[in-house]
Copies of this chain bind each other. A is one copy, B any other.
Amino acid sequence: MAQATGGDSSVVRRINSAATLRALRGGEVLTVTALMEATGLSRPTVEGVVDGLLAEGLVVETTTAEGEDGSRPRGRPARRFRFHAEAGHLLGIDVGVHRIRVVLADLGGTIIGRAARTVEEGCEAEDRLERVRATVSETLRRAQVSRNSLWGVGVGTPGIVDTEGVVTLSSAMPGWTGLDLGGRLGRSFSCPVQVENDANLAAIGERWKGVAVGSDDIVYVMAGLSPGAGSFINGRLHRGFGGAAGEIGALHLLGRQVTPENLLSTTGTPLPPLDEAAVGEVFRHAAEGDRTAGEAVDRFVQRLIHDVTALVLALDPEIVVIGGWAAGLADAVPPLTAELQRLCLRMPRVELSALGGDGVALGAVRVALDRAEHRLFAVEHTGSARA
């Protein structure tokens, strides 16, 4: 892993710093000698790089010393260094219809704080933004992390989001369509803010810390009153030509003219639209053995199966992850698997999400972390920098 040597241009220094940080990124605690081995750099170069990283606060010297390192001179222990993951932080924000969730992580990707607030589905855009800001402040305060320590913020929202962070279409929340969500939230931070569709982020979250780790071909289905899907194809998030891929809210209308409000009704009259509390009641009653509620949930599962099967037929993923309301419905897996086996030429693996309500916020953290890691670890294609 020989890196750039010689010269003293800032490019060469950056490449050598990145190589050194990469050697430490897994949480290793390494001596200068070990860093020389890992990077192929000379002792003076490593020492210079480490001094720079210490000054930047990206590396700290550990005092744990006394290890198994027999090569160090007696009396004077070899200096040991580790990546200072706490040198910066990332926020992931899930702006949902009924709940705002915030997750805080350090530069090593360790989750060190979270907070959530409920919000009325009829809440106006300005109030909702205010609620987001309050939840962010609470998260930072509780974790005792300064806002200046933030390197990046990821934000998830229902609907279609353009590359500038503007919500071009979202029917789920009042005043949301046309909102410059990235710009509005950006005023609260001095770091970059990146906005992405919520189901896309949940797929990213599952691939990072959920049941889809290691897979490049994923369909994630967020089951709910307004279901959405996020997918990875060949290791790339699939947004679609206009950012609308996976907006399957209307998929159930094909053939079955029924909405979740009807499917989940136990009284013959539809549930109020988007009333998550009423839906929660039905799920609870079903879990307690109530037969009418159980039948309602069965109808809901049938719809889920319909949506998932259509996505699997279209995309042929390696793995299907069921999230949202249905993440807890272990009973839904056998009939879903049976229907997929009946209709699909190739069976994907089917898993329930195990990230609880955190999937979107975790995906948002991952998006912000990707950018931070690029800044820390990436060596651009700069052939001439090899001096």
B-contact bits for A95-130, CB 8 A (1 contact / 0 none): 000000000000000000000000000000000000
Instruction: Write out the residue numbers on chain B whose beta carbons fall within 8 Å of the beta carbon of A317.
Output: 240-241
CB neighbours (8 Å) of A344 from chain B are 244, 247, 250
Interface residues of A in 207-248 (CB under 8 A from B): 217, 229, 231, 233-234, 236, 238-248
Q: Say if the beta carbon of A338 comes within 8 Å of chain B.
A: no
Cα–Cα distance between A346 and B231 once the two chains are bound (Å)? 18
The yes or no answer to A278 lying at the interface (CB within 8 A) is: no
- CB of A239 to closest CB in B, whole Å: 8
Q: Is the CB of A243 within 8 A of B346?
A: yes
Segment touching B, from A41-49, A79-87, A306-314: A306-314
**Cα-based distance from A249 to B342 in the complex (angstroms):** 12
A345 contacts partner chain B, Cβ-Cβ < 8 Å: yes
B316 and A243 contact, CB distance less than 8 A: yes
A135 and B323 alpha carbons, distance in the complex (Å)? 52
Interface string of A327-370 (1 = CB under 8 A from B): 00000000000000011111010000000000000000000000
Residues of B within 8 A of A254 (CB): 254-255, 306, 309-310, 343
CA distance A285 to B313 in the complex (A): 33
At the interface, yes or no: A19 with Cβ under 8 Å from chain B? no
- A346–B255 contact, CB under 8 A? no
Q: Is the CB of B256 within 8 A of A316?
A: no
Contacts of A310 in B (CB 8 A): 251, 254, 310, 313-314
In angstroms, Cα B250 to Cα A254, docked, is: 14
A254 CA to B313 CA in the complex, in Å? Answer: 11
In the bound assembly, the distance between CA atoms of A253 and B306 in angstroms comes to 10
Chain B residues with CB under 8 A of A169: 345-346
A306 to B244, CA, bound (A): 18
Where the two chains meet, the residues of A that have a C-beta atom closer than 8 Å to any C-beta of B are 159-160, 169, 217, 229, 231, 233-234, 236, 238-251, 253-256, 306, 309-311, 313-318, 342-346, 348
Across chains A and B, which 8 residue pairs bring their CB atoms closest together, nearest first? A255-B255, A240-B316, A250-B343, A245-B316, A242-B346, A217-B241, A244-B346, A314-B314
Given pairs A246-B313, A254-B255, A310-B313, 11 additional interface contacts (CB within 8 A): A159-B345, A160-B346, A233-B233, A233-B238, A239-B316, A246-B316, A251-B309, A251-B313, A254-B343, A311-B314, A315-B315
